[in-house]
């Protein structure tokens, strides 16, 4: 990271799984001309790599070692692991569940911390995740926490999976969302919660365009730009 980049403005977008934060954050980044960090992808990649290597997801030392050396690359709309396009693979429910488990391990979070902060480059960064505003970029210019009911989020995920030709059970997805929320909120390190100075935005009855507009307005209000 270049010295000048340490002052690059950051907008954080946190929230639970399927709250719409990824889509909203990516569109906001495009509108501002900023870089975009999908921090969740790093945890999903770590979980996927552990699964591929046969490493137990609760083996903190070995999973942290994988996270520290993660051979991941992003570009052209694709996410690659060891050169393999895993854009769809990391969105599988099993990998998402695994990501939630490895994200609860302090050593894994520590291993990925510097990697996430390295994305802070001029002209600015929009970072989406679970603890972007509370831990990784606590000094962000503006912070947003997107939320929605577990039922609404499960329905969104259900539609995504069906559109990709994958089988899915709506009741199972609701239960999964609730279990993941409980685990992410209760973990000892960097629990899922809004930063004290974050705008909390409920997207249950809000479309993407309205959510993007609200986040942009919040950023402009906070940054004066």
Binding-site annotation: residue ranges for ATP:
15-23
Bridge partners, residue 14, by sequence: 129, 145
Phi, then psi, of 35 in degrees rounded to 5 = -75, 160
Region of 224 please: left (phi>0), alpha (psi -120 to 50) or beta: left
Q: Decide if 46 contacts 161 (C-beta within 8 A).
A: no
HSE value, Cβ hemisphere, 13 Å, CA-based, for 216:
16
Distance between CA atoms of residues 66 and 62, nearest Å: 6
Q: Decide if 128 contacts 11 (C-beta within 8 A).
A: no
Residues making up the annotated binding site are 15-23
For 195, the token pair is: 């930063």
What does R_g of the chain's alpha carbons equal in angstroms? Answer: 17
Distance between CA atoms of residues 191 and 194, nearest Å: 9
Neighbours of 61 (CB within 10 A): 10
Distance between CA atoms of residues 32 and 206, nearest Å: 21
């Amino acid at each position: 990271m270049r010295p000048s980049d340490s002052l690059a403005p950051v907008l954080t977008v946190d929230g639970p799984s399927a709250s719409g934060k990824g889509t909203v954050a990516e569109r906001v980044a495009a509108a501002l001309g900023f870089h975009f960090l999908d921090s969740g992808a790093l945890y999903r990649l770590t979980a996927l790599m552990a699964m591929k290597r046969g490493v137990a997801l609760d083996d903190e030392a070995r999973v942290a070692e994988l996270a520290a050396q993660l051979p991941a690359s992003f570009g052209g709309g694709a996410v690659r692991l060891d050169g393999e396009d895993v854009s769809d693979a990391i969105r599988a429910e099993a990998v998402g569940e695994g990501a939630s488990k490895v994200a609860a391990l302090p050593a894994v979070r520590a291993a990925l911390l510097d990697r996430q902060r390295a994305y802070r480059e001029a002209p600015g960064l929009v970072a989406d995740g679970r603890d972007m505003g509370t831990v990784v970029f606590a000094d962000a210019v503006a912070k947003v926490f997107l939320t929605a009911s577990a039922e609404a989020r499960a329905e969104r995920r259900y539609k995504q999976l069906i559109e990709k030709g994958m089988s899915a059970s709506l009741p199972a997805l609701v239960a999964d969302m609730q279990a993941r929320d409980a685990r992410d909120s209760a973990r000892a390190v960097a629990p899922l919660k809004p930063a004290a100075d974050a705008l909390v935005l409920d997207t249950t009855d809000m479309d993407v365009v309205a959510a993007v507009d609200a986040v942009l307005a919040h950023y402009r209000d906070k940054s004066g730009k």
